[in-house]
Structure 1
């Protein structure tokens, strides 16, 4: 089973959200449809701009924690490296 660390954005250089899930399509659908109250619903963060897969849930959870502690500039550079046009990967 794969576990995904992902970054959502409200738009190019907008508000960012870092999360982890075992079912990326379902989780992105929940964010988009605002099915779960919280940060992404409050700030309209729905665009999948980055994702990476891990086979070990512990590694995925640690990676999520690490990314959450990164500076905003580092997160933006990570997104830009793989998705320079900030297109929605979903």
Structure 2
């Protein structure tokens, strides 16, 4: 089996060449757990860009100290801001 290499921020992902990635994982979770939900996907790495691009029906958030070109719809500076956002959203429900 061949491997697929994806370089990210301080990471090298080595995966088998399968039709499986972060996007497919999120889509599977949505289909099986909560098909009517609005997914929220936050990522801080170039390996998240495919998910940002493909999740057209969700909220996508780039987490980066400096804004960069991204496929994400929103931007937060650090993971603590993501945590605060999720706290506020869960307080609404």
- Larger RCO: 1 or 2 (CA < 8 Å, sep 6+): 1
Greater per-residue helix proportion: 1
Normalized against structure 2, the TM-score is what? 0.31
Tell which structure's C-alpha radius of gyration is larger.
2
Normalized against structure 1, the TM-score is what? 0.31
